[in-house]
Amino acid sequence: MNMNLTNTAAVIAFVIGGLSVFAGSMVVMGKTMDYNVIDWLPIYNLIAGLITVLFTAILIWQGNRFAMIAAVVTLLSHSVVLLILKTNFRDVVAMQSIRAMIFRIAVWLVIILMMSIQIKQSTDG
């Protein structure tokens, strides 16, 4: 079975997770940002990034049967957080936080698309 798309999706997941770990940990460790930071958001970013790097990216790389579920849960998690930011925190959330969440959602849509194409190719032939 050709795993190129799955492996590429796993690498992308690992990178986006690593970026979330980096960004979240910087703020959690006390780095002051030049924009408003909602207290719980860096913690969410750090935890979501760690789960992605240590769990989801590995499942995707292995072609595990739970990889798609993990990817969809990650996408849904980021989507719910964006919805919360846009509704409950719209007056205080920094545009940088909104853009970062939209970027994560877009990347996870691409990852899921790549995984779906790989699954279809594997079943077709």
Give the pLDDT confidence of 77-103 residue by residue, as tens digits: 999 999 999 999 988 999 999 999 999
Mean pLDDT of the chain: 92
Is residue 45 domain-resident? yes
Distance between CA 59 and CA 73 in Å, rounded? 13
- Name the 3-class secondary structure at 93: coil
Here the tokens at position 35 are: 């924009």
Is residue 125 domain-resident? no
Q: What is the pLDDT of residue 1?
A: 40
Q: What is the pLDDT of residue 41?
A: 93
The number of distinct structural domains making up the chain is: 1
Is residue 48 domain-resident? yes
Is residue 109 domain-resident? yes
Q: Give 89's DSSP letter.
A: S
Residue 36: domain span: 4-120
Q: What is the pLDDT of residue 3?
A: 61
Is residue 54 domain-resident? yes
Is residue 20 domain-resident? yes
Burial call 104-117: b when 16+ CB within 10 Å, e when fewer: bbebbeebbebbee
* Selected residue with higher pLDDT from 26 and 51: 51
